[in-house]
Amino acid sequence: MDSLLLRCVLLSLIVFLNLVTSEPQQVNNRPIIAILAQETNEKPNSQMISAVIVNFVEASGARVVPVFINRSAEYYEHVFNSTNGVLFPGGDLDPLLTTGYGKSAKAMFDLAVKANKRGDYYPIWGTCLGFETLSVLSSKQHYPLIKCDSWNVANALNFLIQPEYLRWTRMFRNASNEVIRLLQTENVTVNYHHFCLTPENFEKYGLNEQIMAISTNQDKNGVQFISSMEFKHYPFYGIQFHPEFVLFDFDDDMTAVPHTANAVYVSQYFSRVFVNEARKSFHSFKNKT
HSE-up of residue 157 (Cα within 13 Å, Cβ side): 27
CA torsion sign, 172 to 176 to 180 to 183? negative
**What is the per-residue pLDDT for 24?**
62
Residue 8 lies in a domain: yes
Tell me: the pLDDT tens digits for 128-165? 999 999 999 999 789 999 999 999 999 999 999 988 89
Residue 25: which CATH number? 3.40.50.880
In the 3-class helix/strand/coil scheme, how is 192-232 assigned residue by residue? EEEEEECHHHHHHCCHHHCEEEEEEEECCCCCEEEEEEEEC
For residue 271, the one-letter residue type is: S
Average pLDDT score, the chain: 93
* Known catalytic residue at 242: yes
Contact 284, 65 (CB under 8 A): no
- Residues forming beta bridges with residue 179, ordered by sequence position: none
Of 242, 245, 256, nearest to 127 by C-alpha is: 242
Higher pLDDT, 2 or 211: 211
Q: For residue 197, what are the domain limits?
A: 3-278
For residue 22, the one-letter residue type is: S
**What is the per-residue pLDDT for 178?**
97
**What is the per-residue pLDDT for 17?**
46
Residue 230 lies in a domain: yes
**What is the per-residue pLDDT for 100?**
96
Q: How many CB atoms lie within 10 A of CB 261?
A: 8
pTM, 2 dp: 0.92
**What is the per-residue pLDDT for 163?**
83
Q: Residues with Cβ < 8 Å from 280, sequence gap 6 or more? A: 23, 24, 27, 28, 121, 123, 235
Residue 196 lies in a domain: yes
Whether the pLDDT of residue 236 is over 50: the answer is: yes
Whether the pLDDT of residue 289 is over 80: the answer is: no
**What is the per-residue pLDDT for 196?**
98
Question: CA–CA separation, 256 vs 88, rounded Å?
Answer: 23
Higher pLDDT, 20 or 129: 129
Of 242, 289, 243, nearest to 269 by C-alpha is: 243
Which candidate in 128, 148, 193, 196 is catalytic?
128
Residue 283 lies in a domain: no
**What is the per-residue pLDDT for 95?**
84
Q: Which of 19-23, 165-169, 186-190, 230-234 has the lowest mean pLDDT?
A: 19-23
Residue 288 lies in a domain: no
Greatest distance between any 2 Cα atoms in the chain: 55
Residue 180 lies in a domain: yes
Which candidate in 8, 148, 196, 242 is catalytic?
242
Total structural domains within the chain: 1
**What is the per-residue pLDDT for 247?**
98
